[in-house]
Chains A and B, each alone.
Chain A
Amino acid sequence: KAGVTQTPRYLIKTRGQQVTLSCSPISGHRSVSWYQQTPGQGLQFLFEYFSETQRNKGNFPGRFSGRQFSNSRSEMNVSTLELGDSALYLCASSWTSGRQETQYFGPGTRLLVL
């Protein structure tokens, strides 16, 4: 079974631009979560989607948004990019959104904002 895939793997943008990142979960998984990882800050929770509905949202500004499609694929969008948005963005999927669900991570999209 294929793992979680994320596209693109690397991205360079300039301040003020917007970006859309894509995540395809493991087949059959209905929950997708997004994280931002930066050196020194670890993984910070962005949002979680289950069956096309946002279940939860982390403490990020409204410039960060996401959605999930009927096939469970998910996208996240960052508008008006800032230098501080440079990070590794990780997507993780799980079967459901239960509290004991193991999360399976994708390889991430490394975003550099210049």
Chain B
Amino acid sequence: GQSLEQPSEVTAVEGAIVQINCTYQTSGFYGLSWYQQHDGGAPTFLSYNGLDGLEETGRFSSFLSRSDSYGYLLLQELQMKDSASYFCAVRGRDDKIIFGKGTRLHILP
């Protein structure tokens, strides 16, 4: 089977750094994506890792280790507007797109 595991909730303080982990099990692998979804809103694309290593986009970075079937999303200088759910997603060998169940990020002032 194919699955992605990520924590259901994470809490952090405004201005701090938080890491959201994602481990995956797929029959094939063509890259790990991250999406953000605010309450009542649509998911929006944050980043994509096709190769091992770190990808940086402003305050957000994403990391992938294909040998460990593991990736993470790193959010720096947290702002209250970052309170949202974050989903990791993969497209497996059968070309089906699978999303994790999402991590709810709570930010404390």
Q: Give the interface of A toward B (CB within 8 A).
A: 4, 33, 35, 40-45, 48, 55-56, 58, 90, 92, 97, 99-100, 102-108
- Whether B45 lies near A104 (C-beta < 8 A) is yes
Q: Give the interface of B toward A (CB within 8 A).
A: 30-31, 33, 35, 41-45, 48, 50, 87, 89, 91, 94-102
- Whether B43 lies near A43 (C-beta < 8 A) is yes
- Whether A45 lies near B42 (C-beta < 8 A) is no
Closest to B29 in A: A99
- Whether A90 lies near B42 (C-beta < 8 A) is yes
B12 to chain A, nearest CB (A): 21
- Whether B99 lies near A56 (C-beta < 8 A) is no
Instruction: Report Cα–Cα, A104/B42, bound state, in Å.
Output: 9
- Whether A42 lies near B102 (C-beta < 8 A) is yes
- Whether A106 lies near B42 (C-beta < 8 A) is yes
- Whether B98 lies near A99 (C-beta < 8 A) is no
Closest to B95 in A: A56
Task: Please indicate which of the listed interface residues B94, B97, B101 has the most CB atoms of chain A within 10 Å of its own CB.
Answer: B97
